[in-house]
Structure 1
Amino acid sequence: MKYEKYFGGKVLLIEFKNVVKDYGNEVLGADRLSVRIDQGEFVYIVGPSGAGKTTFIKLMYHEVGATSGEIRVNDYDVSSITNKEVPFLRRELGVVFQDFKLLPRLTIFENIAYALQVIEKKPEEVEKRVNEVLKQVGLKDKAQNFPNEISGGEQQRVAIARAMANRPGILIADEPTGNLDPDTSEEIMEILEKINQDGTTIVMATHNSNMVNEHKHRVLEISAGKIIRDQEGGGYENE
């Protein structure tokens, strides 16, 4: 059963309550963060370097643990999750990184298939789903290429396909256009928009003010580990 609370008909998927992440030496990656994200939202996490964007992202999938406070993602109490439960939490999430994190010795098809094989999907189901997500990101003709044989933008599309392979309800993206030129970044955003329109909740950390201003969604602005602005359809100026 998913973690669901209803607010005016909306389904709550992610909730932070007074979350603190203390890295020591008076460095707070999160300083009493409280926020909720509902099913189907597209949320930007913005702020300058070192503001706490990546900490916010990593707390959701328990790459780092909270010092105090409560974090819930779907039906998991992430703030007190056991090591044994972490893989099951992550199966319900798709995560996309700035540096793609593709396996260089595997083909594009094999990179995506691997994400399904580790959760013991049947071979025929793996093949069907890999072909589906490759078509979704426009790379079906590159299935047998290796990562070094395709462009950076195409590698990021593969990373998105891999993240979506298990049909997660939440897609987490940490600076997904950070290494890409403007035209390629726009292509990636169009793919993310379509994924969101199909019902997947997206939480995206970014410093790309052009993307935030051109593709209007909810904006959470973080500074020194605190949310200083929460605005639906807001813009962003990256100083």
Structure 2
Amino acid sequence: MIEFKRVFKEYDNKITAANDFNITIKQGEFVYVVGPSGAGKSTFIKMMYREEKPTSGQIKINKFELGKIRDRDVPFLRREVGVVFQDFKLLPKLTVFENVAYALQVIEKAPAEVKARVERVLNLVGLADKADTFPDELSGGEQQRIAIARAIANKPQILIADEPTGNLDPRTANDIIKIIERINKQGTTIVMATHNSAIVNKYKHRVIEIDDGRVIRDQKRGGYKDESNNL
């Protein structure tokens, strides 16, 4: 499903964000990626959907070898990898329905299929009644639910979540994790970068800890203590 072999990533300022990553994530796993700010978590996440390219090494996502994939084929990779961001990235002038539908329309799904899929994922995240609402009329938690619905509308095999609860209060963060767990139980592989040690310790899953560009721990059903207190 996801495989990193001898992966290094060095930026122009000589900062090494990935130092010999060797990681395998199997289909259906739920993995937290933890570590302090600047540790390399976001780089690890971004390399999975080719927002960043490794300096060296091999990354495989399903049938795609990211070091060899052509730029014109990147959209095909991203059909298999849904991404949820901390700041939602919803389109403000589109309704909830239109935001979710847009992800399907760009890959030319038939209108009837678009309608059926949007309705299905809005029901999954508990916001079917908000279909005609605009993003700025929603709470932060509701906007994140819509972002999740958009990310899974195309039935990706992998869902990547980069700090999805970072801007949310603890109760809303718990609600978001419950939705992500529900998606995982349907067979979707989850890779979630987070600072939220309370979530990691309450909802136990595999933990990959990164510090200073190195994987310092890879533990099945591990916990996490965030020394930075950046929750």
Mapped partners of 1:73, 1:21: distance in 2: 17
Shift of 1:29: 1.0
Aligned to 2:107: 119
Q: Indicate the SS of the match to 2:45.
A: helix
2:83 to 81, 95, 100: 95
Mapped partners of 1:24, 1:30: distance in 2: 13
Deviations 1:122-175 (A, max 9, x none): 000000100000000000000000000010000000000000000001000000
Aligned to 1:54: 42
2:161 to 173, 176, 185: 173
Which structure 1 segments of 5+ residues have no match? 1-12
Give the 5 Å matches for 1:29-178. Answer: 29-178=17-166
Mapped partners of 1:71, 1:154: distance in 2: 34
Alignment-mate amino acid for residue 53 of structure 2: G
Mapped partners of 1:28, 1:108: distance in 2: 39
Are 1:214 and 2:214 matched, yes or no?
A: no
Which structure 2 segments of 5+ residues have no match? none
Q: Indicate the SS of the match to 2:72.
A: coil
Q: Indicate the SS of the match to 2:160.
A: strand
Aligned to 2:192: 204
Shift of 1:26: 2.6
Mapped partners of 1:128, 1:54: distance in 2: 33
Mapped partners of 2:65, 2:214: distance in 1: 21
Mapped partners of 1:221, 1:202: distance in 2: 16
Shift of 1:227: 0.4
Deviations 1:67-95 (A, max 9, x none): 00000001000122210110100011110
1:188 to 176, 190, 194: 176
1:28 to 6, 16, 22: 16
Mapped partners of 2:103, 2:60: distance in 1: 24
Cα RMSD of the aligned pairs, angstroms, is: 0.5
Alignment-mate amino acid for residue 101 of structure 1: K
Q: Indicate the SS of the match to 1:80.
A: coil
Large movers: runs of 4+ above 6 Å: none
Q: Indicate the SS of the match to 2:71.
A: coil
**TM-score for the superposition, normalised by structure 1:** 0.94
Mapped partners of 2:208, 2:12: distance in 1: 25
Question: Identity across aligned pairs (percent)?
Answer: 65
